[in-house]
Amino acid sequence: MTDPWVVRYEGYDAQDEGRREALCTVGNGYIATRGAAADCAADDTHYPGTYGAGLFNRLEDRIEGRTVENESMVNLPNWLATRFRIDGGPWFDIDRAEILAYHQELDLRRAVLTRWLRVRDEAGRTTSVTERRLVSMDVKHACALEITYVPEDWSGRLEIRSVLDGTVGNTLVKRYRALSGDHLALVRTAVPSPESVLLEVVTNRSAIRVAMAARTEVWGNGRRIEPQRGIVDEGAVVGHHLTLDAHRSVPVTLEKIVTVFTGRDPAISEPAAEALAWLPRLGRFDDLLERHVLAWEHLWERFHLDIDSDGATVRILRLHLLHLLQSVSLNSVDLDVGVPARGLHGEAYRGHIFWDELFIFPVLNLRVPILTRSLLRYRYRRLPEARVAAREAGHSGAMFPWQSGSDGREENQSLHLNPVSGHWLPDPTARQRHVGIAVAYNVWQYYQVTDDREFLIHYGAEMLLEIARFWGSIATYDRARGRYVIRGVMGPDEFHTGYPGHEQEGIDNNAYTNVMASWVLRRGLETLHLLPAQERHELLERLDLRRQELERWEVIARTLFVPFHDGIISQFEGYDDLLELDWDAYRQKYGNIRRLDRILEAENDTVNRYKASKQADALMLFYLLSADELREVLGHLGYRLPPEAIPRTIHYYLDRTSHGSTLSAIVHSWVLARSERGRAQEFVIEALESDVADIQGGTTAEGIHLASMAGSVDLFQRCFSGLELRQDRLYLTPYWPEPLGAMEFAIRYRGHPLTLRIHGDCVEVQAAPGRQRPIEVVCRGEVAELRPGARVGFPL
Amino acid sequence: MTDPWVVRYEGYDAQDEGRREALCTVGNGYIATRGAAADCAADDTHYPGTYGAGLFNRLEDRIEGRTVENESMVNLPNWLATRFRIDGGPWFDIDRAEILAYHQELDLRRAVLTRWLRVRDEAGRTTSVTERRLVSMDVKHACALEITYVPEDWSGRLEIRSVLDGTVGNTLVKRYRALSGDHLALVRTAVPSPESVLLEVVTNRSAIRVAMAARTEVWGNGRRIEPQRGIVDEGAVVGHHLTLDAHRSVPVTLEKIVTVFTGRDPAISEPAAEALAWLPRLGRFDDLLERHVLAWEHLWERFHLDIDSDGATVRILRLHLLHLLQSVSLNSVDLDVGVPARGLHGEAYRGHIFWDELFIFPVLNLRVPILTRSLLRYRYRRLPEARVAAREAGHSGAMFPWQSGSDGREENQSLHLNPVSGHWLPDPTARQRHVGIAVAYNVWQYYQVTDDREFLIHYGAEMLLEIARFWGSIATYDRARGRYVIRGVMGPDEFHTGYPGHEQEGIDNNAYTNVMASWVLRRGLETLHLLPAQERHELLERLDLRRQELERWEVIARTLFVPFHDGIISQFEGYDDLLELDWDAYRQKYGNIRRLDRILEAENDTVNRYKASKQADALMLFYLLSADELREVLGHLGYRLPPEAIPRTIHYYLDRTSHGSTLSAIVHSWVLARSERGRAQEFVIEALESDVADIQGGTTAEGIHLASMAGSVDLFQRCFSGLELRQDRLYLTPYWPEPLGAMEFAIRYRGHPLTLRIHGDCVEVQAAPGRQRPIEVVCRGEVAELRPGARVGFPL
């Protein structure tokens, strides 16, 4: 039977190591450490190990004769680097040794990675090596490694080299390797005590200090062993060379406790002083482990999710939650960090911030809204830059960038490599102005769930209004149509960068963008009414937002153009005129055609000519808005959406999408859940497998897909339960297949910890004891009051 | 008539310049700029000009043969430095020139400092110079200086040297000058465009980058003048040497726009890139001014305070509010900064964080609670360090330091100079464990005012419990008394560091500490009941706080010993045995005896022998707790406080206090307000004049006294109005002298902007329009409901 708390790999597979690396990361929202970087790595340079939140560096490169800037999340020094050898033989190398057994296990409940190897060297000596590692969720600056060596059939000299390695680069993503990947310069190394070393480096452009200190001790039979200690001090590599006598069958345990501080941490004097001060305070591996496990236990209570009959699914969902919480957590609340697309521990997209939070916040809002608040403030702090961007583009308000760099400027690459053709091509994807819609939507959702008026007054309202203002300014009046239009943008579907012949110039009237722009404008106006009069007055004055402009918003929100063809929503104006692609022919020829754009470009064709989407675009409307709400928004715009138009629209685009983004499966299963359970289930499986099965064939090794991971959890928590929070009530409309048994999960709502339990034939909500005010729960028209400590149930 | 919006000085007074400097600071909570650092300064090196939030550096010094560490708030480069000369003559120097007129004006409403001089040089040429300066409250990284020169009776060559000066040190406080005061090292200078320069420095120990960029332009007759530009590039001094032809009676205006970024700012790529990117975006002086004034207008609405008949008092109160808001503001919410005792702009105490927030938060809680929240989280981030401190002292829980350094460790000086005797003496004042009481009290007050449960759950409860735990652990059982005792501490009165003969070892059973420790223990237990069950369970588990320990708290909270003598509360155990001081003799001999401790030490005596306090100590109980609450807390401890004991206690200590701290006047006027209006008024005046009249004789020049400033505002808002917020109601019990006419001020309560207007014979509360829930207002037993947009009044 599947253990829903353990991800296990048996046998070593050098080919698959990248995916395992990514999936077996341990982290705490501040530091993330990939799987196999230590002595066993097939290729150390590609798995450098350690990532830290909030450190970015910008470097210049020349590509195709042009100077391009390249901002990357900085890879921290590798704290794991530890090797061993016997009797002066060669250092252990997994690719040369004879591996008798290999077992790797990520304990999800405790967020501990364990690897166990039995190896035989060229001299025939058998050694078992058991390694445990954690990145403390309790003390955010601490990581710990424990390696136990058992000489099964030999006695002799065991040498262990345990170092901190600052020579790492950002080299994980093959197609970026032509770009500068060296970000760290050595400041100093030190040996403050016999057991400990210090490595201090600095990012070579942003000048952020990083200090790492390690305490390395050896234990055997419950007692401290004092090995012969030599110091390794080779440039930016510092550590210990330990030599000791090992005896047949007698385990020897190495403990390496590491602290990490950066110059961007609050509450520090300077990083090296803190790294050294905290090192002796941390106790032993098991002390750290105990507190770490307790912290995770509390997190798992807060993120509780179980399905009676389906341990395999539960395991994947928990793996997804683990990755979410090792990318952002209460440990990152104080840092100026956003939600990177590939987590903290993937180098793809270089740590830039896209729109992924749109798929992630629903999971966080209902459990740790204080974290969502912190992440929204990350955007708020970049509002000034978004204002400048809008102004420079000739608009007003705030234009958030598609790929947000550390200071909130656009970091979208100007050139992008097509690995299929080998061409570096211009990249106009920054035309995805819809990222601002995601920010506004998230502000609104956060406020709806929390009723946090102080946030709205000081930050949220300003963000909503400035984003609304941008849409009010980019929209232009089309006299012929008598409607407002938005030209030259891109929708979520990144295949369509422009019309044939004008490939870089964007498309006009993307339905998703225009409908949501109307929604944003109306929420902006609504927010003004939510503010106390004095705050409203101040904000209007500060933003110099006058009646005339607000009236213009009202008009635009009523009269934006939305394209339709054949009774369905057109993805954008002119979509209908594009060619149909011979999907079967391409599937036959290429197999995987998720990145159809690259295939066509390599054929000297362009995907812009075809009715072919990379991912859900128009269908995003059905994901963000309920059918009722979408009908209302379109109605406000003067369009009617007949009931039969919804399934027609869904099928139309399903048939024309290559799913080149992992987000596609989330949206498609969502939109199909109510109407076609069977087909929805296919997409659910795809969403669940995006990373564990690496369905894009190699992208997982470059970093997990965080939005897809969180989105898969959201499918269970909101889509299948029909969970909605509106009008101060909690609504449930479950569509949950009876054969799957009961699904249970925990949320926080208005201060109540709630447990929802959904069977095929009934739904129950249990409130934890407390002194909060009662809430109202509604299921299919039936309203029930729920008091702390009580339970309500509804038969279905 | 007094203009309650302007602080004005006529005539130049080199002796008084230090005080004017401090009082005429302009700042925005991120940068503060003292008054006169530019061309007119009597002694440039002592008035270096610019301070920034959150930058600290630690240096080592040797004093009396001992190595001591010395952490200081870092003084930023001086952005003001600007001089002029005529026809190649000497550079203008205020101490050499003939000053025909000098007028200095701090416009409180607009937070703009203006100076106007008419000077005549040795050649008999008369020039008028008008200087305006601001530190933008709108764009927190920007400052601006405008200088207009009018050659009244000459034409000729005008040369202006306008630089950024990174050679500044921390030299403001005379007695620290023996200590290392140089914190900045040059990184680079650059001239990115003809009008602009960049100075990049780094703190030499904490390695924090600071980048400052300046754009310098000259205008005349509304048109840009292009002077001959030379570059000044002298080490860490970079800028322009401008030469132009000036004509009799024709004004020439220099505009210097400056940006400042540090490596600790959020939302940056790196400081120099940001400083340069923002420089061209800022427009001209008047553009910055307009937005700056609007930001202040909104602040003044939020901090509205007026007294019909007393412009002089109102002016001082507004000056105090201005200083408060240029030390902490919405601009500092994102920074990891606390509330320094002498504001952002005073070097005394080196920027360390004491207990001043106890006197400051009442003003902020009722207007910008989001700012108090940020400042409480500054403490929360230092909870781990406070835990270590408690553990190392043999206690448990959290022991917050008396002088909190940048990482929250104790930064109390080990040696302190007595300027009277010239002796460096051991300084045991870190025994003031009561600072933790202030932190706990502030957490509780914030929660009471805001009902912010998310804060309580994630941060507040943990702080309260860990501080309670400390008191639970430091208290020991005294079998003889059958009560718990707390030994070896100091109360707020810093004169009493120990008993005679044991001067460094603290005193026992300080009444303030023990009573408030009981209060904290009970609030800790109460908080547990406020938490939802699940959060309570998690927190108890995380803190490993078990039933037995909680029961111990209950016992200690009931049985702490409180010393009394002669029917009054003893300041500490054994106070009654001390000698009476011949106050009159000392007053006669020394005049100012506020720092009696220094006088006695210089006489080879010690203040520890006498019934003499530096500041309110036992009386702090009457300040923090209402008489009813204090009676309840003492009653819980088994002590009865008869009504007559209160005035007796107050008078007893009033007669034995030297008022060596500016906080004393606040507390004393507070405790006297209800009983002895006349005597209270004396202390009110003292509180108001602490800095404007520099009543301590020189300490204002070292930095204003922020707690006293905020406390004086609080006297008016809470003490004279009897404003209390408890049991979800707003209580008013005004004691307001009818002759003073009406007092009016604004607060925020439960989302309502309220204006309170208090006459001698009635009180009115006006609520701004909005959609909030009604609140209840109580005045002397009468309860009224108040709806948005409505007003309630009570005759007195």
pLDDT, tens digit, for every residue of A160-204? 999 999 998 888 888 888 888 899 999 999 999 999 999 999 999
Q: How confident is the model at residue A48 (pLDDT cuts 50, 70, 90)?
A: low
CA distance B261 to B76: 10
Average pLDDT, chain A: 93
Do the chains contact at A458 and B273, CB–CB below 8 Å?
Answer: no
Indicate if the pLDDT at residue A42 is higher than 50.
no
CA distance B324 to chain A (A): 19
For an interface test with A, the pick among B264, B407, B458 (most A C-beta atoms closer than 10 Å) comes out as B407
C-alpha R_g of chain B = 27
Closest Cα to residue B48, out of B30, B31, B58, B34? B34
Do the chains contact at B407 and A268, CB–CB below 8 Å?
Answer: yes
Q: Is residue B126 a contact partner of residue B119, using CB atoms and an 8 Å limit? A: yes
Could you say which of A411, A494, A601, A686 is catalytic? A494
* pLDDT tens sequence across B586-604: 999 998 888 999 999 999 9
Spell out the residues 6+ positions from residue A661 whose beta carbon is closer than 8 angstroms to its own.
A494, A614, A615
The pLDDT value recorded for residue B95 is 78
* pLDDT tens sequence across B679-714: 888 899 999 999 999 888 888 999 999 999 999 999
* pLDDT tens sequence across A309-330: 889 999 999 999 999 999 999 9
Name the pairing type of β-strands A729-732 and A775-779: parallel
The pLDDT value recorded for residue A38 is 46
Residues of each annotated binding site of A for substrate: 355-356, 614-615
Do the chains contact at A405 and B269, CB–CB below 8 Å?
Answer: yes
Beta bridge partners of B211: B200, B261
* pLDDT tens sequence across A71-89: 999 999 999 999 999 999 9
CA distance B178 to chain A (A): 22
CA distance B17 to B23: 10
Beta bridge partners of B6: B107
Closest Cα to residue A217, out of A242, A238, A191? A242
Closest Cα to residue A517, out of A564, A565, A558, A548? A558
Q: Where in chain B is the domain with CATH 2.60.420.10?
A: 738-795
Residue in the block written with tokens 């020094």: A77
Residues B726-741 have a mean pLDDT of: 85
Name the pairing type of β-strands B228-234 and A762-767: unpaired
* pLDDT tens sequence across B481-512: 999 999 999 999 999 999 999 999 999 999 99
Contacts of B298 in chain A (CB under 8 A): 538, 541-542
Two tokens at B731? 């209580």
Integer CA distances (angstroms), B152 to A589, B100, B218, B252, in order: 87, 12, 18, 12
Do the chains contact at A301 and B534, CB–CB below 8 Å?
Answer: yes
Average pLDDT, chain B: 93
Spell out the residues 6+ positions from residue A326 whose beta carbon is closer than 8 angstroms to its own.
A25, A26, A27, A28, A29, A32, A111, A135, A343, A344, A345
Name the pairing type of β-strands A66-76 and A50-63: antiparallel
The pLDDT value recorded for residue B67 is 85
For an interface test with A, the pick among B72, B186, B270 (most A C-beta atoms closer than 10 Å) comes out as B270
Active site residue A541: no
CA distance A299 to A316: 17
Phi, psi of B769, deg, nearest 5: -65, 155
Q: Is residue B707 a contact partner of residue B663, using CB atoms and an 8 Å limit? A: yes
CA distance A407 to chain B (A): 4
Element (H, E) at B403: none
Do the chains contact at B533 and A751, CB–CB below 8 Å?
Answer: no
Do the chains contact at A263 and B208, CB–CB below 8 Å?
Answer: yes
Q: Where in chain B is the domain with CATH 1.50.10.10?
A: 352-643
Two tokens at A706? 């965080």
Closest Cα to residue B779, out of B701, B723, B714, B706? B723
DSSP B456: I
Do the chains contact at B330 and A274, CB–CB below 8 Å?
Answer: no
Superfamily of domain covering B738-795: Maltose phosphorylase, domain 3 (2.60.420.10)
CA–CA–CA angle B88, B219, B89 (5° rounding) = 10
Indicate if the pLDDT at residue B48 is higher than 70.
no
Q: Where in chain A is the domain with CATH 2.70.98.40?
A: 6-302
Phi, psi of B683, deg, nearest 5: -70, -30
Query: What is this structure's pTM?
Result: 0.96
Q: Is residue A733 a contact partner of residue A777, using CB atoms and an 8 Å limit? A: no
Two tokens at B751? 């989302």
DSSP string, A296-340: HHHHHHHT-EEETT-HHHHHHHHHHHHHHHHHSSGGGTTS-----
Closest Cα to residue A597, out of A613, A585, A584, A583? A613
Indicate if the pLDDT at residue B553 is higher than 90.
yes
* pLDDT tens sequence across B610-622: 999 999 999 999 9
Q: Is residue A449 a contact partner of residue A361, using CB atoms and an 8 Å limit? A: no
Do the chains contact at A381 and B530, CB–CB below 8 Å?
Answer: no
Two tokens at A536? 């409203």
Residue in the block written with tokens 């550390």: A406
What's the distance, CA B365 to chain centroid? 15
Could you say which of B105, B494, B601, B686 is catalytic? B494
The pLDDT value recorded for residue A232 is 97
What's the distance, CA A91 to chain centroid? 37
Residue in the block written with tokens 């959609």: B771
Integer CA distances (angstroms), B668 to A672, B320, B435, B564, B663, in order: 71, 19, 20, 20, 9
Contacts of A268 in chain B (CB under 8 A): 406-407
Residues of each annotated binding site of A: 355-356, 614-615
The pLDDT value recorded for residue B317 is 97
The answer to which of A108-117, A630-639, B383-392, B407-416 has the lowest mean pLDDT is B407-416
Do the chains contact at B377 and A334, CB–CB below 8 Å?
Answer: yes
Indicate if the pLDDT at residue A670 is higher than 60.
yes
Do the chains contact at B206 and A270, CB–CB below 8 Å?
Answer: yes
**Which residue in B264, B369, B531 is closest to A454 by CB distance?**
B369
Q: Count A/B contacts: CB-CB distance under 8 Å.
A: 148
Q: How confident is the model at residue A1 (pLDDT cuts 50, 70, 90)?
A: low
The pLDDT value recorded for residue A36 is 56
Phi, psi of A111, deg, nearest 5: 50, 50
For an interface test with A, the pick among B454, B545, B752, B755 (most A C-beta atoms closer than 10 Å) comes out as B454
Indicate if the pLDDT at residue A625 is higher than 70.
yes
* pLDDT tens sequence across A367-422: 999 999 999 999 999 999 999 999 999 999 999 999 999 999 999 888 888 888 98
**Which residue in B370, B381, B385 is closest to A454 by CB distance?**
B370
Q: Is residue B373 a contact partner of residue B199, using CB atoms and an 8 Å limit? A: no
CA distance B81 to chain A (A): 28
Contacts of A534 in chain B (CB under 8 A): 301, 753, 768, 770
* pLDDT tens sequence across B88-130: 999 988 878 899 999 999 999 999 999 999 999 989 999 999 9
Contacts of A407 in chain B (CB under 8 A): 267-269, 273-274
Contacts of A270 in chain B (CB under 8 A): 58, 205-207
Q: Is residue B729 a contact partner of residue B777, using CB atoms and an 8 Å limit? A: yes
Integer CA distances (angstroms), B404 to A101, A214, A699, B68, B354, in order: 54, 27, 48, 16, 6
Domain topology for B352-643 = Glycosyltransferase (1.50.10)
The pLDDT value recorded for residue B37 is 45
The pLDDT value recorded for residue B1 is 63
Phi, psi of A243, deg, nearest 5: -130, 130
DSSP A240: E
Residues A288-295 have a mean pLDDT of: 98
Q: For A272, which residue in chain B has the nearest alpha carbon? A: B206
Phi-psi region of B770 (alpha: psi -120 to 50; beta: other; left: phi over 0): left
CA distance A268 to A283: 21
Residues B49-68 have a mean pLDDT of: 87
The pLDDT value recorded for residue B424 is 86
Name the pairing type of β-strands A476-478 and A483-485: antiparallel
Closest Cα to residue B355, out of B15, B616, B647? B616
Three-state secondary structure of B585-628 = HHHHHHCCCCCHHHHHHHCCCCHHHECCECCCCCCHHHHHCCHH
Q: What interface predicted TM-score (ipTM) does this complex get? A: 0.95
Indicate if the pLDDT at residue B44 is higher than 50.
no
**Level-2 CATH architecture, domain B6-302:** Distorted Sandwich (2.70)
The pLDDT value recorded for residue A37 is 45
CA distance A290 to A299: 14
Three-state secondary structure of B354-393 = CCCHHHHHHHHHCCCHHHHHHHHHHHHCCHHHHHHHHHHC
Phi, psi of A786, deg, nearest 5: -125, 120
Contacts of B206 in chain A (CB under 8 A): 269-270
DSSP A578: S
CA distance A523 to B370: 24
Contacts of A408 in chain B (CB under 8 A): 267
Spell out the residues 6+ positions from residue B370 whose beta carbon is closer than 8 angstroms to its own.
A454, A458, B330, B333
Q: Is residue A558 a contact partner of residue A551, using CB atoms and an 8 Å limit? A: no
Indicate if the pLDDT at residue A691 is higher than 70.
yes
Two tokens at B300? 């003044």
